[in-house]
Amino acid sequence: MSDLGFSVIDARAKQNAASPTIAFRLHIASERPVDAIVLRAELRIEPQWRTYDREAQVLLGELFGTPDRWQTTLRTFAWADVTLVVPGFARETDAEITVPCTYDFDVAATRFFDTVHSGEIPVRFLFSGAVYRDRGSSFSTERVAWNSECSYRMPVSVWHDAMRACYGSDALIRIKRETLEELRRYRALSGATTWDELLVRLLGAPT
Protein backbone atom coordinates (compact mmCIF):
# COMPACT_ATOMS: atom_id res chain seq x y z
CA MET A 1 0.00 0.00 0.00
CA SER A 2 1.14 3.54 -0.72
CA ASP A 3 1.97 6.23 1.83
CA LEU A 4 0.01 9.10 0.27
CA GLY A 5 -1.94 11.84 2.04
CA PHE A 6 -4.69 13.83 0.32
CA SER A 7 -6.41 17.15 0.97
CA VAL A 8 -8.56 19.43 -1.18
CA ILE A 9 -7.45 23.06 -0.96
CA ASP A 10 -10.06 24.92 -2.99
CA ALA A 11 -12.55 24.75 -5.84
CA ARG A 12 -13.43 27.04 -8.74
CA ALA A 13 -15.73 27.11 -11.74
CA LYS A 14 -13.85 26.87 -15.04
CA GLN A 15 -14.87 29.90 -17.08
CA ASN A 16 -13.97 28.79 -20.60
CA ALA A 17 -15.10 25.17 -20.51
CA ALA A 18 -17.38 23.75 -23.21
CA SER A 19 -19.75 22.48 -20.51
CA PRO A 20 -20.16 23.34 -16.81
CA THR A 21 -17.02 22.21 -15.01
CA ILE A 22 -15.65 22.53 -11.48
CA ALA A 23 -11.91 22.22 -10.81
CA PHE A 24 -10.75 21.10 -7.36
CA ARG A 25 -7.13 21.73 -6.30
CA LEU A 26 -5.88 18.56 -4.69
CA HIS A 27 -2.76 18.48 -2.51
CA ILE A 28 -0.88 15.18 -2.38
CA ALA A 29 1.92 14.40 0.07
CA SER A 30 4.18 11.34 0.06
CA GLU A 31 6.92 10.07 2.33
CA ARG A 32 8.87 8.82 -0.70
CA PRO A 33 9.39 10.14 -4.26
CA VAL A 34 6.68 9.26 -6.76
CA ASP A 35 7.11 8.88 -10.53
CA ALA A 36 3.42 8.87 -11.43
CA ILE A 37 -0.03 8.18 -10.03
CA VAL A 38 -3.06 6.97 -11.94
CA LEU A 39 -5.70 8.21 -9.54
CA ARG A 40 -9.42 7.60 -9.36
CA ALA A 41 -11.50 10.02 -7.30
CA GLU A 42 -15.06 9.21 -6.30
CA LEU A 43 -16.97 12.27 -5.09
CA ARG A 44 -19.91 11.91 -2.73
CA ILE A 45 -22.23 14.62 -1.42
CA GLU A 46 -22.94 14.45 2.31
CA PRO A 47 -26.14 16.51 2.74
CA GLN A 48 -26.61 15.48 6.37
CA TRP A 49 -23.71 17.68 7.52
CA ARG A 50 -25.36 21.06 6.94
CA THR A 51 -28.62 22.87 7.73
CA TYR A 52 -31.35 24.08 5.35
CA ASP A 53 -33.79 26.97 5.42
CA ARG A 54 -37.53 26.38 5.16
CA GLU A 55 -37.73 26.92 1.39
CA ALA A 56 -34.91 24.46 0.75
CA GLN A 57 -36.58 21.91 3.04
CA VAL A 58 -39.73 22.07 0.90
CA LEU A 59 -37.89 21.77 -2.41
CA LEU A 60 -35.66 18.95 -1.17
CA GLY A 61 -38.75 16.92 -0.34
CA GLU A 62 -38.62 15.24 -3.76
CA LEU A 63 -35.14 13.90 -2.90
CA PHE A 64 -35.36 13.12 0.82
CA GLY A 65 -39.02 13.28 1.77
CA THR A 66 -40.40 15.52 4.50
CA PRO A 67 -37.97 16.89 7.13
CA ASP A 68 -39.43 14.66 9.85
CA ARG A 69 -37.97 11.69 7.92
CA TRP A 70 -34.53 13.19 7.30
CA GLN A 71 -32.94 11.36 10.21
CA THR A 72 -33.13 8.23 8.05
CA THR A 73 -33.39 9.59 4.48
CA LEU A 74 -30.77 12.37 4.48
CA ARG A 75 -27.80 10.24 3.49
CA THR A 76 -24.63 10.43 1.40
CA PHE A 77 -25.11 10.00 -2.36
CA ALA A 78 -22.79 9.80 -5.37
CA TRP A 79 -21.90 12.87 -7.40
CA ALA A 80 -19.02 12.05 -9.76
CA ASP A 81 -16.34 9.50 -10.57
CA VAL A 82 -13.24 10.83 -12.35
CA THR A 83 -9.73 9.70 -13.21
CA LEU A 84 -6.54 11.76 -13.49
CA VAL A 85 -2.84 11.14 -14.04
CA VAL A 86 -0.53 12.89 -11.57
CA PRO A 87 3.06 13.49 -12.78
CA GLY A 88 6.03 12.54 -10.64
CA PHE A 89 7.05 14.55 -7.57
CA ALA A 90 9.51 14.33 -4.70
CA ARG A 91 7.48 14.90 -1.54
CA GLU A 92 4.35 16.89 -2.37
CA THR A 93 2.46 18.32 -5.29
CA ASP A 94 -0.85 19.85 -6.33
CA ALA A 95 -3.10 18.32 -8.97
CA GLU A 96 -6.41 19.34 -10.50
CA ILE A 97 -9.52 17.19 -10.25
CA THR A 98 -11.81 18.29 -13.08
CA VAL A 99 -15.47 17.43 -12.52
CA PRO A 100 -17.95 17.88 -15.39
CA CYS A 101 -21.38 18.99 -14.17
CA THR A 102 -24.77 18.57 -15.77
CA TYR A 103 -27.87 20.76 -15.79
CA ASP A 104 -30.06 17.68 -16.16
CA PHE A 105 -32.75 17.95 -13.48
CA ASP A 106 -33.31 14.20 -13.64
CA VAL A 107 -29.94 13.89 -11.85
CA ALA A 108 -30.14 14.03 -8.05
CA ALA A 109 -26.97 16.12 -7.67
CA THR A 110 -28.33 18.78 -10.04
CA ARG A 111 -31.61 19.09 -8.16
CA PHE A 112 -29.73 19.27 -4.87
CA PHE A 113 -27.23 21.95 -5.95
CA ASP A 114 -29.90 24.03 -7.68
CA THR A 115 -32.03 24.07 -4.53
CA VAL A 116 -29.28 25.24 -2.17
CA HIS A 117 -28.26 28.86 -2.72
CA SER A 118 -25.97 29.69 0.19
CA GLY A 119 -23.40 28.13 2.46
CA GLU A 120 -21.21 25.13 1.79
CA ILE A 121 -21.79 21.61 0.49
CA PRO A 122 -19.91 18.84 2.34
CA VAL A 123 -18.16 16.67 -0.27
CA ARG A 124 -16.18 13.50 0.47
CA PHE A 125 -13.42 12.32 -1.86
CA LEU A 126 -12.60 8.60 -1.94
CA PHE A 127 -9.35 7.70 -3.71
CA SER A 128 -8.05 4.56 -5.38
CA GLY A 129 -5.57 3.78 -8.12
CA ALA A 130 -1.92 2.91 -8.68
CA VAL A 131 1.34 4.57 -7.65
CA TYR A 132 4.49 4.06 -9.79
CA ARG A 133 8.00 4.39 -8.37
CA ASP A 134 11.36 4.02 -10.07
CA ARG A 135 13.50 1.18 -8.71
CA GLY A 136 16.48 1.84 -10.98
CA SER A 137 16.24 -1.05 -13.41
CA SER A 138 12.45 -1.32 -13.13
CA PHE A 139 9.30 0.31 -11.79
CA SER A 140 7.32 -0.82 -8.78
CA THR A 141 3.56 -0.48 -8.58
CA GLU A 142 1.63 0.08 -5.37
CA ARG A 143 -2.06 0.45 -4.75
CA VAL A 144 -3.44 3.64 -3.28
CA ALA A 145 -4.49 2.66 0.24
CA TRP A 146 -8.14 1.59 0.47
CA ASN A 147 -8.83 4.14 3.21
CA SER A 148 -7.45 7.14 1.32
CA GLU A 149 -10.02 9.91 1.50
CA CYS A 150 -10.57 13.51 2.49
CA SER A 151 -13.47 15.91 2.92
CA TYR A 152 -14.03 19.41 1.62
CA ARG A 153 -16.78 21.94 2.22
CA MET A 154 -17.38 23.42 -1.22
CA PRO A 155 -19.10 26.83 -1.41
CA VAL A 156 -22.33 26.16 -3.28
CA SER A 157 -21.66 29.38 -5.22
CA VAL A 158 -18.97 27.46 -7.15
CA TRP A 159 -21.59 25.18 -8.72
CA HIS A 160 -23.85 28.12 -9.57
CA ASP A 161 -20.85 29.96 -11.08
CA ALA A 162 -20.15 26.92 -13.28
CA MET A 163 -23.76 26.96 -14.53
CA ARG A 164 -23.69 30.70 -15.22
CA ALA A 165 -20.38 30.39 -17.07
CA CYS A 166 -22.12 28.22 -19.70
CA TYR A 167 -25.80 29.15 -19.54
CA GLY A 168 -25.94 32.66 -18.09
CA SER A 169 -29.26 33.16 -16.31
CA ASP A 170 -31.01 30.40 -18.28
CA ALA A 171 -32.00 27.00 -16.92
CA LEU A 172 -32.44 23.79 -18.91
CA ILE A 173 -35.21 21.24 -18.60
CA ARG A 174 -35.61 17.98 -20.53
CA ILE A 175 -39.04 17.09 -21.91
CA LYS A 176 -40.38 14.61 -24.45
CA ARG A 177 -40.63 15.77 -28.06
CA GLU A 178 -44.39 15.19 -28.02
CA THR A 179 -44.69 17.55 -25.05
CA LEU A 180 -42.59 20.15 -26.87
CA GLU A 181 -44.87 19.98 -29.91
CA GLU A 182 -47.92 20.55 -27.70
CA LEU A 183 -46.20 23.54 -26.08
CA ARG A 184 -45.31 24.97 -29.49
CA ARG A 185 -48.95 24.76 -30.62
CA TYR A 186 -50.14 26.33 -27.38
CA ARG A 187 -47.55 29.10 -27.74
CA ALA A 188 -48.70 29.87 -31.29
CA LEU A 189 -52.34 30.03 -30.24
CA SER A 190 -51.68 32.05 -27.09
CA GLY A 191 -49.54 34.69 -28.76
CA ALA A 192 -46.74 34.29 -26.24
CA THR A 193 -43.50 35.62 -27.70
CA THR A 194 -41.06 33.70 -25.45
CA TRP A 195 -40.99 30.36 -23.67
CA ASP A 196 -40.75 32.22 -20.35
CA GLU A 197 -43.94 34.11 -21.12
CA LEU A 198 -45.71 30.90 -22.13
CA LEU A 199 -44.72 29.04 -18.95
CA VAL A 200 -45.72 31.97 -16.75
CA ARG A 201 -49.15 31.94 -18.39
CA LEU A 202 -49.48 28.20 -17.86
CA LEU A 203 -48.58 28.62 -14.21
CA GLY A 204 -51.28 31.25 -13.86
CA ALA A 205 -48.84 33.90 -12.62
CA PRO A 206 -49.03 37.54 -13.74
CA THR A 207 -46.61 38.56 -16.52
- What pLDDT, in 10s, does the model give residues 150-170? 999 999 999 999 999 998 887
Q: Are 37 and 133 in contact (CB under 8 A)?
A: no
Check whether domain 4-168 has CATH 3.30.70, yes or no: no
Residue 12 pLDDT > 80, yes or no?
yes
- What pLDDT, in 10s, does the model give residues 31-67? 999 999 999 999 999 999 999 999 999 999 999 999 9
HSE-up (13 A, CA, CB side) for residue 136: 0
